[in-house]
Amino acid sequence: METPNLNYIIELSGGDLEFQAKIVDVLKKEFPEELNLYKETAKTKDFKKTAGIVHKIKHKISILGLEKGYEQANQYEKELISNKDCSGTKFEDILNQISVYLSKI
């Protein structure tokens, strides 16, 4: 099972620790806000709006190295765009995994 990691960020940084710290700070700040926004919006059943939030979170999933998670988020976003009342359970599992990870680093 894949787990969140900073491999992409470290590789991109070329050893620039300041950049690594900055991006982790932004992830720690933005991710919980987006997670809450997602949860609130998903409850309203406004699928298009929820898709917009999933879209934004997708980038964070990808930079944390979750390739399968990214594909799942992609699929979920597509279903939401087509106005399907689909289950977000798998997507929410990914978000929870990221939350735990970010709280530890």
Q: Which residues bind another protein (CB under 8 A)?
A: 8, 12-14, 16, 19, 22-23, 26-27, 30, 52, 55-56, 58-60, 62-63
Residue 38 to residue 52: CA distance in whole angstroms? 9
Q: How far is the CB of 59 from another protein (least distance, A)?
A: 5
Q: How far is the CB of 9 from another protein (least distance, A)?
A: 9
Compute the C-alpha angle 81/82/84, nearest 5°.
Answer: 100
Name the nearest CA neighbour of 77 among 95, 53, 97, 100: 53
Residue 63 or 80 having the CB closest to another protein: 63
Q: How far is the CB of 63 from another protein (least distance, A)?
A: 5
Tokens coding 39: 């949860």
